[in-house]
Structure 1
Amino acid sequence: MHLQITPHIDVALIALNAFFLFFLGLVIYLRREDRREGYPLEDELTGRLESAGGPILTASPKTFRLSFDRGSVTAPTKGREPVEVAGARRTDRFHGASIEPTGNPLVDGVGPAAWADRAKRPDIDWEGRPRIVPISTDDGFFIAKGDADPRGFAVVGADGKVAGKVVDLWVDRADRLIRYLDVELSVGKRVLAPMAMATIQGEYHRVSLDAITAAQFADVPAIAGPDTITFYEEERIVAYFGGGYLYATPDRAEPLL
């Protein structure tokens, strides 16, 4: 059986052209959608805003309604985000040149200590409640029998010195795990430390946190609420500790070879 429509067109040719048109449309659609975040581009040297791809490859604004009547978010945004890198300078005048800190990189948000300007509201669970809360405020969570309870343990920094002690734990109601250690410093300030960067040493009744030194705990970004933490505050805290793996001590910032 010959599926010939005309002397020069058959079903196979039609199917091939249909696939080509579909694939071309898919590529254009994906290139439009990937421009919802991160645009407009900016020249690193001149500060001039680059084109996002013209009317064909630039996605039209789309509004996303947030759950639990928390408003809406529109993407892509227009204009340049008001973010400046303080306390750092570019080492050379070319695209992609590295920057080096001129102040405290952990506080200024340089390199691995950089943070994103996330929403100033807490994450919530499926019931609309704050997702990350102190364990002392939720009777449904407790430390499993046989596991070490770090509350009361000393917190030791990368230099082996004691920064403070754990006074509470912040748990994730959705993932059912500890997210942050609530640390009371010797100066009376309380800060949160990421549980993922800590090592519980139950036999010594201490928590080892090698991301930063004991003295650097004093500059950990604080949170505004006593029992809630916002996306932005989480971003700042994790960035501060993460940057410590490069900037906590001078020898960490030097090359290995």
Structure 2
Amino acid sequence: MQTGAITGYIDVAQLALYAFWIFFAGLIYYLHRENKREGYPLESDRSGSIKVQGFPSVPEPVSYRLADGRTVQAPNDRRDNQPPLHEGVWRGMPLTPTGNPLLAGVGPGSWADRADVPDTQVDGTPRIVPLRVAPGFGVSSKDIDPRGLPVLGDDGVEGGEVVDVWVDRSEMLLRYLEVRVAGGGHVLLPMNFARIQPRAVRVQSLLGHQLRGVPATRHPEQVTMLEEEKVMAYYGAGTLYATPQRQEPLL
């Protein structure tokens, strides 16, 4: 027999190939199972008692210790705390918001149930804060400083006034405008929904009076990840639900 042959039909190279195939199949199985630590089991539209997990099944929970000392488990079978929806007369009908469509969490207004704690830097301090508590940060002299400018909705109605700008200290970016709305409350306006002009800040996704309904933050100088989701979702929902005409076909 030739060098490396175990029998007349099997040699070391063949065994190594078979071992690689077995290892690779096991790796695919492991990765596919670990991929189900979030989002599974899926919800069935037939019954709430049916667990949709497919093959392979959802792995056993594992505890993870976070940088701030908290411990979380995955998977945890935690359901998102989303607002109720009207699902229509028969299965397959479009989901219809119940109550205020800007807060219903539907379509462009959907949001993820993230942790209700601020996103932090390496040293544990809040990542996104207003400029008034962020020494060393400011608005570039080459850009328009929006503080003091009125905020106009898509209808041209003034909904508030910019009083401060919130900066992401890790990314060196301006994330939000802080707007004082009618009645004295303060809400956040994401920069990607704002159009800063020399004399005003315009928001195309909302009408002027709708700025008062933006979900507020619990802390005047901090925003949690869950609050960010809901604030962003409110403006996103306005792109479809701000006016009845936006829900109709273009033609």
Task: Name 1:73's counterpart in structure 2.
Answer: 72
Task: Name 1:143's counterpart in structure 2.
Answer: 139
Counterpart mapping for 1:109-188 below 5 A: 109-188=105-184
Contact 2:40-2:58 at 8 Å conserved across structures: no
Task: State the alpha-carbon separation in 2 of the partners of residues 97 and 32 from structure 1.
Answer: 32
TM-score scaled to structure 2, two decimals? 0.92
How many pairs align?
Answer: 250
Gaps of 5+ in 2: none
Deviations 1:190-242 (A, max 9, x none): 1101011111112xx21111111111111100111011111111111001111
Contact 2:65-2:71 at 8 Å conserved across structures: yes
2:220 match: secondary structure? coil
Contact 1:45-1:93 at 8 Å conserved across structures: no
Task: Name 2:87's counterpart in structure 1.
Answer: 90
Task: State the alpha-carbon separation in 1 of the partners of residues 3 and 248 from structure 2.
Answer: 72
Task: State the alpha-carbon separation in 1 of the partners of residues 127 and 231 from structure 2.
Answer: 17
**What is the letter of the counterpart of residue 93 of structure 1?**
W
Distance 1:68 1:89, change over 3 A: closer
**What is the letter of the counterpart of residue 236 of structure 2?**
G
Q: After the TM superposition, which of the residue ranges 192-201 and 12-21 deviates more from structure 2?
A: 12-21
Contact 1:156-1:214 at 8 Å conserved across structures: yes
Q: After the TM superposition, which of the residue ranges 175-184 and 40-49 deviates more from structure 2?
A: 40-49
Give, in angstroms, the shift of residue 82 of structure 1.
Answer: 5.8
Counterpart mapping for 1:180-199 below 5 A: 180-199=176-195
**What is the letter of the counterpart of residue 201 of structure 1?**
Q
Identical columns (%): 46
Task: State the alpha-carbon separation in 2 of the partners of residues 91 and 255 from structure 1.
Answer: 20
Contact 1:133-1:228 at 8 Å conserved across structures: yes
Q: Does 1:64 align with 2:60?
A: no
Distance 1:162 1:66, change over 3 A: same
Give, in angstroms, the shift of residue 57 of structure 1.
Answer: 3.2
1:229 match: secondary structure? coil
Task: State the alpha-carbon separation in 2 of the partners of residues 83 and 169 from structure 1.
Answer: 30
